[in-house]
Structure 1
Amino acid sequence: MIVDELPQRTLLRPGLRLPAFKGPFQDNGASPWYSPVRVGNGPAAPILKLNVDTGARFNWLTSTACDTRACTMPQRRRFDPAASSSFVAGAGEPLRIDFGHWGEMLATRGSDFLSLGTLPPQRAGFYCTTHYDGTQFCELNWDGGLGVPNGLSPDPHSTHIVETLLNAGVLTPERAMVSFLMDPASGTGVVEFGGYDMQAVDEDSAIELPFVPYATGLDYIWTTPLRSWKVGPVEVARGQLFCHDTGSSHFKGDPVLLMQAMHQLELQRGRTGRYPLLELDIGRHRDDGRPARLVLGADQYVTEIEAGQGRGRTTANLNPLAGYDGLLLVGSILLDHVCAVYRFQVSGAPGRYRVAPGTTWMFNKRGGPQVIRP
């Protein structure tokens, strides 16, 4: 059995909702958003700040075994495996996990119960970090992350949370999705497994982003064809791939594309005294299949750095990222202003379900900026 297309009105029922909160915006490329999740059992089980991350293929937590500066900062919360009687340690030596320009993280394997919303605790596999440091991790608002990759190239030691909920009977194959609806003005939002808030979005604005995989080894990220990217009237990219990543904040990716975009932004700003529009030609309108555009103004992509290095400075949030040729990636700078619904294809049978990438939907929010254009 494979399920992808969804009966429209099944989404009227609410799914599993996790509250989300916005920490201070920092210039480290990571999303400022996180959700509180209790890990382990008993009254002493900590509530950690976890980002629900569509750009990661694994789950990870900061553990008490880590004593670097980034792990022991006053606002950091840590999980103590020894204090949870339900923790099961994994076999093997600590692993070295490469975060690219962020550096590296050492971690051990294990599993324990995660308390998600009002559900009974669900057992999940994750990595317990034993070492990381540096300004990138020091400026991270989260204590860890819950990966929601598209289902390709699964991590053998980390549980896919959507598969876990499917096989626990919490989600049905027709409702295998995760939606993100954030309100940056209030600093609050909702991550919903199994549905989205139809009353909060403009259904007529709905677009579909068909999945096309990126490079081998990074095919687990959610990517779609990018027909064109314009800075003001000037096209700076054509025929590349676009990734929408809830764990990120900035526009980043292919250094050549980003340098061209940054050059055009400063050139046009110097001529006119204002920031130009950023226009992404991607996806198709769900109702009639017409090509769609996402248009961001300065109010959406130019932000103030609220904490950490550069605090008080204004940034346009464009950053080259070596090693990602042909890819443009963005996170909260776009996703704060639309509702994104990541949908999965489901195969297998109850108790043995597996997920694969489906078609992502995006909507304008009612009363929000009209980012999605005809």
Structure 2
Amino acid sequence: MNSEPLPNNLVFPMQRGPFQNNGASPWYCTLKLGTPAQSLKFSLDSGTNMSWVTSTLCSTDQCKHFAGGRFDIQASSTFAFTDCLRRPYSFGPWGTMQVESASDVLTLPNDAHLNSQLFLAAAYEGDQFKQLDWDGGLGLPCSSAYVEGRSSFVLQTLMREGQLDPAHPFIAFDWDAQRRSGDCRMGAVDSSKTQGPHLFLPWSVYSALPGVEYIWSTELKSYSVGSEQLRSNIKFALDSGSSQFKGDSALMRETLARISHSNQPDILLEFADGQMTLGSELYECLIEAGPQQGQVLPQFAPLGLTNLVVVGSVVMDYCYTVYEYQVVKCSHEVYSLAPMGIWLFNRPDGPQIITRSSSKPFVPDARAVLDGKLTLPGPAIETATVAGTWRNDYGSVMTLEVSGRQVTGTYRSSTGSTGEYSITGCVSGTGATRTANQPLALAIEWHDLGDETKDPSWNWASGLSGQLSVTDKGDVLTLNHVLVATSDFPELARQGSYIDKLVYTRAEPQVQITPSTSIEPFPVKNTLAGHWVTVDGTSLVLSVHSDSKQRFGMVRGSFKCQEASAEVTGFTDINTLKCKLSLQSVSLTATLTGDNTVFTLCGTLDLMADTLSLLVLTSSAVAPAHAYLATQISSLHFTRTTDAFPSAQSLRGK
């Protein structure tokens, strides 16, 4: 593919196997493992932090893959187990294999021998493995700090043993899809291929999914399909072991939906300093083997990697790609590698996918080797917010806005009545993380904001309390729901209180909404207004307002006790008397001052007895593993009074 090899570097000849619809790169290098040497196909994989090979530890019905090779451990005199345990190794959402740890001699293309530690695949199954064009992989993670401890890092080992110059810390991939041949060059760059439009993608750690900090990730300013921007300020990773675009499940599904309804839109990736554009002729690929052989399919796959876009050969086939490290020398023969970033260069004879160059130039000279220590930037603690649009399992959609601790929004229900309904509520803390959920309380007034036909549910209210959590599959709202029906709704529900668990995931806004913050409140006279107290002294002081159309009541007030206080917001039905009902629905929310706790109080005001009976859902911030203890239920019974010596015991839990 190019001229004579540059001095002091190692070239791995590579071949392109059949393109298959499994998300794995079709590129591999044939290397020899063991004594006597056994030829096997290896991926040179920048998307993993360990080295592995399919082995004869697999039973005959396991480890079936397209390449078909297995390393025969008993045929190698230099083979040795380094551990006595078999364990699962996860490739994340892509799949899992059972592995055992071992060591043996790897023969490199220059006939040098490298003592290597690696994992032996002892079991795996699934279509993604069946379509694999290689027998194993050699990991090329972004840093030696992230290498799996029982596995060798080839580039670092070559530097340590004097076979590569640490001043040239490059791994360059040069693939020609038309000729189905290429190479991976370690320790040098072909400067003749670093001319013209280029991109520099500085490394930035991806921390949304713990354990995959080893990927070569960078900041992605925006991701667009055609003229429509679908995401902004997420992460992008270039993975030589991958083929198709994959990653964030919602984003990949949205991409496929827009491709199916549009006329071959371009995919536009905009970075802080540069831009890449791929036409449909590049991401619509002919499947050359496997179950979809002969089909031309868009290469986008949901993979549960939150806020991340990963791609491999679909981009790298058309670019000269250079991964660059910073080398640190700790002692005489100890070299550590830190990530600098990735350089991409348009191939002059191929599609010009880099449509705006980076301003930073590439200089193919020797790099300085640092002495001493270097600190890698730690992963930022990513927090999720309840702000956004959410859809539950029933198909109901709510859109929430957050200002400080106050939450407002609008709800569209898919059960019972249809229409738009107002939301108010509160959160505690600054957001949810991988280690701590965020408590949330909401109140919903079921009087339609639009011009829908009136029905009995217009007198009802709901209270919701629960958690926002950050999961591998995205952000999730898990809320306990109390629906207070103050009247019968024929063929739907009888008067009473109904409890349900609702799970919401993020969704794209489908309709224009009328935010509840746009409603101008006016004071109104209502029986709920006043001072209420329980037997143990818990106190509520409430006032009632309404919008200009007198549709429903907006409640404001305070909760006071000897230990804590809280502002209260919520809703109530102000049309109870007009509708000749004896029960008035009430739903209130509050967050305790100085405590990471929110609560919803939902129930009825009995107009005849002048008593206020409320179910209390109290939610506190918990670790994800303890989510089943996040919300506590209790009840409070208030009477009207002018005196108050309250206690918060029933709200704070026993």
User: What TM-score do you get using the length of structure 1 for normalisation?
Assistant: 0.89
Cα contact 2:64–2:129 (8 A) shared by 1 = no
Q: Is the 8 A contact 1:70 1:134 kept in 2?
A: no
In the alignment, the residues of structure 2 paired with residue 254 and residue 352 of structure 1 have an alpha-carbon distance, to the nearest angstrom, of 38
Deviations 1:280-324 (A, max 9, x none): 1126xxxxxxx21111112211111111111111111011112x1
Contact 1:300 1:337 in 2 (8 A): no
Aligned AA (2:114): Q
SS of the equivalent of 1:339 reads strand
Q: CA deviation at 1:57?
A: 0.7
Helix, strand or coil at the partner of 1:204:
coil
Aligned residues: 348
- 1:347-358 matches, cutoff 5 A: 347=328, 348-358=330-340
Could you tell me whether the CA contact under 8 Å between 2:66 and 2:133 is conserved in 1?
no
Q: Secondary structure at the match of 1:260?
A: helix
Secondary structure of the residue aligned to 2:84 is coil
Displacement of 1:12 after TM fit?
A: 6.1
Return closer, same or farther for 1:313/1:72 CA change in 2, 3 Å cut-off: closer
Percent identity between the two aligned chains: 34
CA distance in 2, matches of 1:74, 1:256: 30
- 1:170 alignment partner in structure 2: 163
Distance 1:49 1:13 in 2: 26
Secondary structure (helix, strand or coil) at the match of 1:257 reads: helix
> Which consecutive residues of structure 2, in runs of 5 or more, have no partner in the other structure?
357-654
- Alpha-carbon distance, 1:340 to partner: 1.1
Distance 2:131 2:212 in 1: 25
How much does 1:198 deviate?
2.4
Structure 1 stretches lacking a partner, 5+ long? 1-10, 270-274, 284-290
**Equivalent in the alignment of 2:265:** 276
Give the superposition deviation at 1:356. 1.5
Q: CA deviation at 1:14?
A: 6.6
Shift in Å, 1:68: 4.3
User: 1-side partners of 2:262 and 2:64: how far apart?
Assistant: 44
Distance 1:68 1:150, change over 3 A: farther
Matched, 1:346 2:327: yes
Superimposed CA distance per residue, residues 116-146 of structure 1 (whole angstroms, 9 cap, x where no aligned partner): 2114111111001111122111110100000
Q: What is residue 359 of structure 1 aligned with on the other side?
A: 341
Aligned-CA RMSD value: 1.7
Please tell me whether residue 229 in structure 1 is matched to residue 218 in structure 2.
no
- CA drift at 1:74: 7.8
- Which amino acid in the other structure matches residue 90 of structure 2? D
Structure 1 residue 258 displacement after superposition:
1.4
| 1:40 matched to 2:40 | no
Which residue does 1:5 correspond to in 2?
Answer: none
User: CA 1:242/1:72 → structure 2, altered by over 3 Å: closer, same or farther?
Assistant: closer
Kept in 1: contact 2:42–2:138 (CA 8 A): yes
- Asked if 1:328 corresponds to 2:309, the answer is yes
Distance 1:306 1:77, change over 3 A: same
Asked if structure 2 preserves the Cα contact closer than 8 Å seen for 1:234 and 1:264, the reply is no
**Equivalent runs, 1:119-198 vs 2, <5 Å:** 119-151=111-143, 152-198=145-191
- Which residue pairs with 1:65 in the alignment? 57
Aligned to 1:219: 213
Give the Cα–Cα distance (whole angstroms) in 2 for the partners of residues 336 and 146 of structure 1.
Answer: 19
> What's 2:87 paired with?
95
1:309 matched residue in structure 2: 291
Partner secondary structure for residue 343 of structure 1: strand
Residue 319 of structure 1: aligned partner: 301
> Which secondary structure state, in structure 2, belongs to the residue aligned with residue 162 of structure 1?
helix
Of 88, 99, 113, which aligns to 1:107?
99
**What amino acid does structure 1 have at the position aligned with 2:156?**
E
CA distance in structure 2 between the aligned counterparts of 1:320 and 1:257, rounded to whole angstroms:
8
CA deviations on 1:231-272 (whole Å, 9 max, x unpaired) are 111111110000100111111111121122222222222xxx
In the aligned structure 2, how far is the partner of 1:243 from the partner of 1:172? 27
Flag the 1:22–1:175 CA change in 2: closer, same or farther, 3 A: same
Residues in 1 aligned to 2:244 and 2:60: alpha-carbon distance in whole angstroms: 26
How many Å separate the matches in 1 of 2:65 and 2:199? 42
Query: Shift in Å at residue 72 of structure 1?
Result: 5.2
Q: C-alpha separation between the residues in 2 aligned to 1:68 and 1:81?
A: 15
Matched, 1:267 2:261: yes
Letter of the 2:177 counterpart: P
Secondary structure of 2:232's match? strand
The one-letter code sitting in structure 1 at the alignment partner of 2:109 is: G
Determine the structure 1 residue equivalent to 2:546.
none
TM-score normalised according to structure 2 size: 0.52
Distance 1:75 1:170 in 2: 30
Give the SS at the match of 2:47: coil
Q: For residue 146 of structure 1, give the secondary structure of its aligned residue in structure 2.
A: strand
Letter paired with 1:309: P
**1:179 CA displacement:** 0.9
Given residue 92 of structure 2, which amino acid in structure 1 is its aligned partner?
G
Is the 1:68–1:131 Cα contact (8 Å) retained in structure 2?
Answer: no
1:174 Cα deviation from its structure 2 partner: 1.6
Q: Is the 8 A contact 1:57 1:147 kept in 2?
A: yes
Distance 1:276 1:350, change over 3 A: farther
Separation in 2, partners of 1:73, 1:104: 14
State the structure with more CA Rg: 2
Contact 1:222 1:245 in 2 (8 A): yes
CA contact (8 A) 2:320 2:346 kept: yes
Match of 2:497 in 1: none
Shift of 1:101: 3.3
Residue range with higher mean Cα deviation, 217-226 or 133-142: 133-142
Residue 73 of structure 1: CA displacement? Answer: 5.9
**Counterparts of 2:67 and 2:201, CA distance in 1:** 37
Q: Aligned letter for 1:61?
A: V
C-alpha spacing 1:14/1:361, structure 2 compared with 1 (3 Å): farther
Query: How do 1:247-266 residues align onto structure 2 when only pairs under 5 Å count?
Result: 247-266=241-260
Q: Please say which of residues 98-107 and 326-335 is displaced more in the overlay.
A: 98-107
Distance 1:306 1:214 in 2: 33
Tell me, yes or no, if the aligned pair for 2:35 and 2:105 is still in contact at 8 Å. Answer: yes
Q: Is 1:303–1:314's contact at 8 Å kept on the other side of the alignment?
A: yes
Residues 66 and 131, structure 2, Cα contact 8 Å, conserved in 1? no
- How far has the Cα of 1:341 moved from its partner? 0.7
Aligned to 2:234, which of 236, 240, 245? 240
How many angstroms apart in 2 are the aligned matches of 1:160 and 1:191? Answer: 15
Equivalent position SS for 2:331: coil
